[in-house]
């Protein structure tokens, strides 16, 4: 979708412009400003500063292009991550990263909407729109993520109830908002579970709190935000579930599109 972004006469908040230009999430851009990495027309920027498309904005002394923000083109890619890839851009150990599989962008970069750990496979979303990424990742929006998990151990109704009611982890209370028994044989059992947060290894730690071990974890679906009409200058938002479609093979990607009539 292509639209023309029109800023108000007084300009837009700097972190929003930078996020919209695909440099990172709005929160990350706020850190860049605080760290003194951003300048506007030769002067160090401060949180709360505004800018227009006519201003010269630099990051670490290098002018950035605002073509992507001005055009209003939002790109979203779904990637079916395999096990063995990390979600960082660079890895000191030289392991493959999910960013290695994405098409190159000019003047902007892909932002991962959430993360999966090394041994988890499943759906990841990437966008060039930092504002979209911020809305998806902020806990206040309660974006649901559904996992298929293979669990090993003695699973009782009380343990399942504990996971649904909530347990205390080292970083606070956590719970599954939905737990569906999907069957299994022997000591291995499959469950489909949902969480509303994206804390580090949250699904694994929830099962481990009940002395159970997950042997495989697969992110099956997540909600993503789509603007109802127009481009990045339109603020009304709606959520829609994104499922891994049949035939969407591991280690492959697909361009997402907005639904008809959006």
60, 67, 91, 117: which one is catalytic? 117
Residue pair 163/204 in contact (Cβ under 8 Å)? The answer is no
Task: State how far the Cα of 54 lies from the Cα of 159, in Å rounded to an integer.
Answer: 59
Within 8 A by CB and 6+ apart from 259, the residues are 226, 240
Token duo for residue 118: 């090394």
Name the strand (E) or helix (H) holding 97. Answer: none
Residue pair 121/218 in contact (Cβ under 8 Å)? The answer is yes
The β-bridge partners of 188 are: 152
Catalytic annotation on 100?
Answer: no
Task: State how far the Cα of 77 lies from the Cα of 256, in Å rounded to an integer.
Answer: 5
Q: Are strands 145-152 and 121-127 parallel, antiparallel or unpaired?
A: unpaired
Q: Are strands 57-59 and 38-40 parallel, antiparallel or unpaired?
A: antiparallel
Max CA separation in the chain (angstroms): 67
Of the candidates 168, 172, 189, 171, the one whose C-alpha atom is nearest the C-alpha of residue 180 is 189
- Report the interhelical angle of 130-137 vs 26-34 (nearest 10°): 110
What b/e sequence results for 174-203 when a residue is b if at least 16 CB atoms lie within 10 Å of its CB, and e otherwise? bbbeeeeeeeeeeeebbbbbbbbebeeebb
Q: What are phi and psi of 88, to 5 degrees?
A: -90, 155
Enzyme catalytic residues: 117
């Amino acid at each position: 979708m292509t639209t023309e972004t029109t800023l108000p006469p007084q300009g837009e908040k700097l972190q929003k412009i930078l996020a919209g230009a695909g440099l990172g999430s709005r929160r990350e851009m706020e850190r860049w400003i605080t760290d003194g990495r951003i300048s506007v027309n030769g002067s160090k920027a401060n949180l709360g500063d505004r800018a227009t498309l006519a201003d010269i904005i630099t990051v670490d002394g290098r002018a950035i292009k605002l073509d992507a923000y001005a055009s209003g083109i939002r790109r979203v890619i779904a990637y079916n991550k395999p096990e063995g890839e990390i979600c960082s851009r660079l890895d000191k150990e030289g392991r493959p990263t999910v960013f290695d599989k994405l098409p190159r962008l000019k003047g902007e970069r892909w932002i991962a909407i959430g993360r999966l750990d090394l041994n988890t496979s499943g759906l990841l979303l990437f966008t060039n729109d930092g504002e979209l990424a911020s809305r998806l990742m902020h806990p206040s929006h309660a974006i649901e993520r559904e996992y298929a998990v293979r669990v090993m151990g003695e699973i009782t109704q009380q343990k399942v109830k504990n996971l649904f009611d909530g347990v205390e982890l080292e970083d606070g209370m956590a719970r599954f908002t939905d737990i569906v028994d999907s069957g299994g044989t022997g000591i291995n059992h499959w469950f489909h579970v949902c969480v509303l947060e994206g804390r580090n290894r949250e699904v694994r730690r929830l099962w481990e709190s009940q002395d159970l071990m997950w042997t495989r974890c697969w992110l099956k679906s997540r909600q993503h935000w789509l603007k109802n009409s127009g481009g990045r200058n339109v603020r009304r938002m709606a959520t829609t579930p994104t499922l891994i479609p049949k035939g969407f093979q591991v280690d492959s990607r697909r361009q997402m599109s907005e639904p008809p009539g959006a």
